[in-house]
Amino acid sequence: MAVQFEKEGDSVYLLLTKEEAEQMWREGETGLQKVAVGSRGEAGSGFHMCICQPDYAETVRALYEEILEHEGRVDILVYAPCTHAGDDGAVGERHSYEAIYAATERNVMGFRTLVDTIVPLMSKSTIRRIAVITEANASIRNCVSEDDYGYYLSLAAVNMAEKIYFNRLRKEGFTFRNYAGSCIGETMGAAWYVSCDLSNNPEEPSIHSDENRLVMRNSLYEEIAW
């Protein structure tokens, strides 16, 4: 977990599920420091932690109202699906179909609810960017995992959802990022990739412009096949 402010006056709303907040509370100071490191840096006063269950429309609506009141707009929406189905083994091993479904409901429908609710606030911004933070195993082509069905089915479905949003919203000026995090070390970080502008010449063929197509990139700026 990392929070980065671009400049003085920026606001960051960090959304935590109830379980995530409870886990951080159990971890005590260590857990809270993970969040606080960035916020103490340049513009701590703009940091807000919110309990928000993305797959519950009421909590997302409350978030919408809060941001509308205090900020008036959202520039960038970053979504990182992270719910697993628990003891979710390989084919033929233990797992619960209900738990697999529940993981996808939270990860996938949470993304849908969040985007559908927040997009009107983003339309008030000139930046209008939606980013998904994922991992290289979200690639159906390259995935090497054998288990964790609830999680990996979610990652694939969220990527598809982002593509459909891209098709719908790109013409309204929205831009999109899909970043596959890795453990390669200090290379291109998610925050940099999410916040920087890319080639956006409307006359450029779409294949040459990252803004005119949806592409998954890793921390080495390599394109990863879906």
The H or E element containing residue 112 is: helix 110-122
Interface positions, 99-138, toward other proteins (CB under 8 A): 100-101, 104-105, 108-109, 112
According to the binding rule CB under 8 A, does residue 140 interact with other proteins? Answer: yes
Cβ-proximal residues to 170 (8 Å cutoff; 6+ apart), any chain = 176, 212
According to the binding rule CB under 8 A, does residue 48 interact with other proteins? Answer: no
Structure-token match 């929070």, residue found: 3
According to the binding rule CB under 8 A, does residue 207 interact with other proteins? Answer: no
Distance CA 135, CA 152 (A): 10
Instruction: Give the rounded distance of the alpha carbon of 97 from its chain centre.
Output: 25
Q: Select the residue interacting with other proteins from 15, 122, 214, 224 (CB under 8 A).
A: 214
Nearest to 153 by CA among 112, 97, 194, 115: 97
Distance CA 136, CA 174 (A): 24
Nearest to 43 by CA among 71, 4, 95: 4
According to the binding rule CB under 8 A, does residue 55 interact with other proteins? Answer: yes
For other proteins, give the closer residue by CB, 134 or 195: 134
Q: Sort strands 76-79 and 129-135 into parallel, antiparallel or unpaired.
A: parallel
# of chain residues touching other proteins (CB under 8 A): 38
According to the binding rule CB under 8 A, does residue 194 interact with other proteins? Answer: no
Q: How far is the CB of 25 from other proteins (least distance, A)?
A: 29
Using the rule CB under 8 A, give the single segment among 13-21, 41-49, 120-128, 161-169 that binds other proteins: 161-169
Give contact residues for other proteins (rule: CB under 8 A).
55, 90-92, 97, 100-101, 104-105, 108-109, 112, 139-141, 143-149, 152-157, 159-161, 163-164, 167-168, 214, 225-226
